[in-house]
Amino acid sequence: MPDTPAAAQPQIVITGAAGALGRAVTQHVLDQGARVALLDRDAAHLRQAFPGLENSPHLLLPADVSSAGSVAQAAAQILRTFGTVDAVVHIAGGFEMGEPVHGLDRAAWDRMMDLNAWSFVAVTQAFAPAMIERGAGAFVAVSAKSAGRGVAHMAAYCASKSALQRLVESAAAELAPHGIVVNSIAPGVLDTPANRQAMPDANPSEWVSTTVAAQTIAFLAGGGAQALHGQHLVLD
């Protein structure tokens, strides 16, 4: 991961770790020798997803990414334990089909914006200061291909992912002078059990493998992506 000494163990924070993509990313970076701090809203879900990581050098912490206070509390514990964080992979978010724009409910709008856009603000607030002090680090967000264009009955979701991309671009410009890179992946449909259940008539071979997405995320979190700033790698 970014510019750590050859013998150093990369230390990586992953939000939404208990989900399908979170598990794939976690396994990939563990295979690369990383030490991980895994965040998810439900502590029991985390323990169930990663039973072998309890009572280990890794951390499993509950956190609500839509709450800056909750993320800050988790970050403080991570930084006390790890000392430094090389990369933060922000996977946590949400998806909802919804009403047409003219019938959109404010609660649904706020829910998507909190989960997909504000959560990135909360995560960068929690971890960027320590990275700035160190002069190195990486943030990788998970956006969506649909951030590029509105889709019927997905207005709040598409708008929130578009907002996330603008936040990634702004943060990239702000943090690049401090040696920190900020980028995102923008997958189409991910091949997850939930998506297979929701779309039983679709062809999953046309979707994006979580294994491939995890490899791309690891690249963006690593030293090879030091010349990428505010980019959204479309996976489709």
Q: Which of 50, 118, 157, 207 is catalytic?
A: 157
Q: Which two tokens stand for residue 7?
A: 């013998």
3-state secondary structure of 199: coil
- Judged against a pLDDT cut of 60, whether residue 6 lies above it is answered with no
pLDDT in tens, 56-69: 999 999 999 999 99
Spatial separation of the C-alpha atoms in residues 228 and 220, rounded to whole Å? 8
3-state secondary structure of 232: strand
Biggest alpha carbon–alpha carbon distance for the chain:
56
Rounded average pLDDT over 194-222: 93
| Catalytic residue status for 147 | no
Confidence band of 168 (pLDDT split at 50, 70, 90): very high
- Judged against a pLDDT cut of 50, whether residue 186 lies above it is answered with yes
